[in-house]
Amino acid sequence: MSAGPAVRARLADALAGQAGADGARWMLRAPAPRALLRQHLAAMLPAGQPLGPCRLRRAKFKPGRRLNAWYDVDLGPAGHRPIAVTWEDPPPAADWPAADEMEAEAAEAGQVAPFLRLRSTVPELGLRVLVAPLDPAFGHLVRLSDPVRVPELLAGAKLDADGIRGPWSATAVRYRPGQRHVLRWEQGGTHQHAMFAKLYRRGGSAQAFQVARRVADWLERTGEPIGGARPLAHLPEVDVLLYPFVPGRQLTAGLGRGDGGVLAERLVRAGMILRALHNAPPELAEGLPASNFDDAANEVHKAAGHIRFLVPATGANLEELLERARKLHARLPGEADVFAHADYKADHLLATPDRLTVIDFDTCALADPALDLGKLVADLHFWASKGRAVDAGEARARLLDGYGPASRPRLLRARLYEALVLAKLTVRRVSVADPDWAGRTAALFDRCAGLLDDLEREVGA
């Protein structure tokens, strides 16, 4: 791959963080580095293979270490393929022996084409590219991505794979090498006959299976129009949970679009789900880790390293927010931990006219019930900042209508979690690739400060 001295020097400065957020954005958006990436991808494809747009889906920057980017690559008639790109210092190793066997397996299954290979490095540029379904951290990913093997896997789980005519397909819904993967298996070309394979590492699927089943059983017993996504099967030999297609649209899709009464009703149901989970018997939380406010604040601090490096003033504002939040939390009465979803946000709530279903139980914990209440409202604050016509205060009221009576200290702590989680969502979701990354980040931290101001006045700071 050719790159002139000036481009190589600018890449090095950007990766080191010397050029600030503009440098990271240049690596992700500017013509020169994008041309280098496209040139590299073209070298991984046969001559004449179309290479369409490479759409950036997500980016994560750690100044002085690495820039990770995840793209969806348009390959023309060959469809789309997710890839993971890393620019790093020190540069990646030129060889990766651990991946040899996995790539050979993918080639034998016909999962490499139209690519000639699924991994490549350019050490002099600090560049590495991985193409789905390659990920040595998940040794079963190739097998699980092979549609020919889906019936065999389903038979092993005692699920009928012959009820619908037509070939199976296997599509990557989420491809995050080294982190997590979700695949969509579909037969007959219709989502009604789809299921999702969620991969885990190091035996993590066993507890996830038990927690998801217990949640689904418990919510079903309420007799209310609420539920939890129940796994179809557990495949322990490949550390996978299979989930059915769950009807409904993410709550996110309805924010600020259409009848506000519909959203209000769904938020009431969201509150009903939380009340049921928080009132669950101790056995529902068996084996779950504990999580507390300090854990959450420390997580925000750790995730915000790039902000402190790139925009020191904004980073200092965040540290002040975290310190204020810790002090305020120490003044508020606490209570016993309960079963908490711990990632209760709009994307994890699927709505139909008759039912609201909660999904994704991987972060469930023994925690303050205020966490779940605050997280959903913080999520709605964030979506409002993106232009969705949603009133977070009104949403909070409807959520509490469904939740029912709660003590004043719990409600105050929920509002404190609102501010803390909004800061976390800002750090995690506002991409450095955004042209107004610094401005949006600062504005959202100001919103967090305003939430703390209101709460301190009410508490009597």
Q: Identify the helix (H) or strand (E) that includes residue 69.
A: strand 66-74
Residue 47 DSSP SS3: coil
More confident residue, 159 or 183: 183
**Residues 6+ away with beta carbon under 8 Å from 398:** 263, 264, 267, 268, 271
Tokens of 418: 């609102």
pLDDT tens, residue by residue, 286-338: 999 999 999 999 999 999 999 999 999 999 999 999 999 999 999 999 999 99
DSSP 334-351: ----EEE-S---GGGEEE
Are 365 and 288 a contacting pair, CB within 8 Å? Answer: yes
Q: Identify the helix (H) or strand (E) that includes residue 356.
A: strand 355-358
**What angle is formed at CA 115 by the lines to CA 113 and CA 116, rounded to 5 degrees?**
100
Confidence of residue 190 (pLDDT cuts 50, 70, 90): low
Residue 233 DSSP SS3: strand
Q: What is the pLDDT of residue 314?
A: 97
Q: What is the pLDDT of residue 3?
A: 72
49 burial type by CB count under 10 A (0-12 exposed, 13-18 middle, 19+ buried): middle
Residue 41 DSSP SS3: helix
Quote the percentage of the chain above a pLDDT of 70. 95
Confidence of residue 5 (pLDDT cuts 50, 70, 90): confident
Distances (CA, A) of 137 to 90, 200, 362, 451, 454: 20, 10, 19, 41, 46
Q: Which of the residue ranges 2-11, 31-40, 230-239, 396-405 would you say has the lowest mean pLDDT?
A: 2-11
Confidence of residue 257 (pLDDT cuts 50, 70, 90): low
pLDDT tens, residue by residue, 88-128: 988 776 556 678 899 999 999 999 999 999 999 888 888 99
Tokens of 383: 């979506």
d(CA 38, CA 158): 44
Q: Is the pLDDT of residue 165 over 70?
A: no
- C-alpha radius of gyration, the chain, whole number: 23
Give the residue among 262, 261, 260, 259 at the shortest CA–CA distance from 248: 262
Average pLDDT, whole number, for the chain? 92
Q: What is the pLDDT of residue 159?
A: 78
Phi, psi of 46 (to 5 degrees): -70, 155
Give the residue among 67, 66, 70 at the shortest CA–CA distance from 83: 70
Q: What is the pLDDT of residue 243?
A: 96
Are 186 and 199 a contacting pair, CB within 8 Å? Answer: no
Residue 88 DSSP SS3: strand
Tokens of 154: 């389903």
Tokens of 459: 């508490």
Are 451 and 406 a contacting pair, CB within 8 Å? Answer: no
More confident residue, 341 or 460: 341
Q: Is the pLDDT of residue 205 over 80?
A: yes
More confident residue, 6 or 132: 132
DSSP class of 177:
T
SS3 for 252-292, per residue? HHHCCCCCHHHHHHHHHHHHHHHHHHHCCCHHHHCCCCECC
Q: Is the pLDDT of residue 164 over 70?
A: no
Confidence of residue 259 (pLDDT cuts 50, 70, 90): low
Q: In the predicted model, what is the mean pLDDT of residues 163-192? A: 84
Q: Is the pLDDT of residue 163 over 60?
A: no
Q: Is the pLDDT of residue 4 over 80?
A: no
Q: What is the pLDDT of residue 55?
A: 96
* Side chain identity at residue 99, one-letter code: A
Q: In the predicted model, what is the mean pLDDT of residues 268-287? A: 96
Q: What is the pLDDT of residue 95?
A: 58
Tokens of 230: 């129940």
DSSP 374-405: HHHHHHHHHHHHTT----HHHHHHHHHHHH--
Examine residue 177 and say whether the peptide bond preceding it is cis (omega within 30 degrees of 0): no
Q: Is the pLDDT of residue 175 over 90?
A: yes
Q: Is the pLDDT of residue 1 over 70?
A: no
d(CA 194, CA 341): 25
Q: What is the pLDDT of residue 207?
A: 94
